[in-house]
């Protein structure tokens, strides 16, 4: 009799284990609170170090985090640079007019949408090579000193402009281009409220200098794709905060 009781107990335990496993699987397959695509960390692929600073392993990712703690590979250059069909404050077809193909298309849609609402945007500076960033950075140090320059200019290899995913924008007149006075313009206000709809975020928001490492730049927008841009915008956070607080990055930005 005891033998049959043991058999029955084993069967019951097996059934319970089976349902538990199915329930576990179902939770991860159907609980829409867990979006596995959100758990991908664009910093995690084959990270290396350069002078003790992390070098991102997948600079081609549109979600890549580039800052003072996460450098691009030395002299990285995107392979899909194009000239977006939008207005710039200059006419020359030069390096800083280029962007990667996907953000370029999104920029065209955004500029067109703004124009339909009576807002006339213009590009100021988009892609910037590492050598060009080096020249600018050294010029800013000479002009304002290294401490001041570090608040608004990136070290070579740590500039988002080098990714081909960022662009500085202004009004079509070029007034207040890349200047603090831009924040009070209709163009800046439109960008702040609408850029996320096209996959862009204001990369260095007001009051976040201790997190991003840079002062408020309402003109500097960064393409991250619509899904991520919407999350960052609606939460009122920076890209650093998104990865540190919502993605549990192994090496958070200090």
How many C-beta atoms lie closer than 10 Å to residue 53's C-beta? Answer: 14
**Cβ 65 vs Cβ 243: under 8 Å:** yes
The DSSP H or E segment spanning 20 is helix 2-30
The rounded distance, in Å, linking the Cα atoms of 105 and 203 is: 19
The rounded distance, in Å, linking the Cα atoms of 97 and 59 is: 20
In which residue are the tokens 């020359």 written?
Answer: 92
Output b/e per residue, 159-196; b: 16+ Cβ within 10 A.
bbbbbbbbbbbbbeeeebbbeeebeebebbebbbebbb
Q: Which of 217, 227, 240, 241 is catalytic?
A: 217
Helix axes 186-194, 101-116, angle to 10 degrees: 120
What is the phi/psi pair of residue 152, to 5°?
A: -135, -10
Active-site residue flag, 95: no
CA angle 65, 68, 70 (to 5 degrees): 40
Active-site residue set:
217
């Amino acid at each position: 009799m005891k033998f049959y009781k043991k058999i029955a107990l084993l069967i019951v335990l097996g059934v319970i284990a089976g349902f538990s496993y199915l329930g576990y699987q179902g939770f991860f397959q159907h609980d829409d609170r867990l979006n596995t695509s959100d758990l991908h960390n664009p910093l995690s692929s084959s990270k290396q170090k350069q002078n003790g600073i992390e070098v991102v392993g997948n600079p081609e990712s549109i979600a890549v985090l580039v800052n003072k703690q996460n450098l691009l590979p030395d002299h990285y250059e995107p392979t899909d640079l194009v000239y977006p069909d939008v207005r710039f404050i200059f006419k020359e077809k030069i390096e800083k007019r280029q962007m990667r193909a996907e953000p370029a298309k999104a920029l065209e849609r955004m500029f067109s949408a703004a124009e339909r609402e009576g807002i006339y945007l213009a590009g100021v500076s988009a892609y910037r090579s590492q050598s060009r960033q080096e020249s600018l950075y050294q010029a800013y140090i000479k002009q304002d000193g290294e401490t001041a320059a570090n608040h608004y200019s990136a070290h070579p290899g740590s500039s988002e402009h080098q990714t081909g995913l960022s662009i500085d924008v202004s009004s079509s007149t070029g007034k207040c281009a890349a200047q603090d006075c831009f924040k009070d313009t209709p163009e800046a206000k439109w960008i702040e409220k609408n850029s996320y709809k096209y996959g862009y975020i204001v990369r260095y928001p007001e009051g976040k200098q201790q997190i991003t490492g840079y002062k408020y730049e309402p003109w500097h927008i960064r393409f991250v794709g619509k899904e991520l841009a919407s999350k960052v915008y609606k939460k009122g956070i920076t890209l650093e905060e998104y990865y540190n607080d919502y993605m549990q990055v192994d090496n958070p930005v200090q």
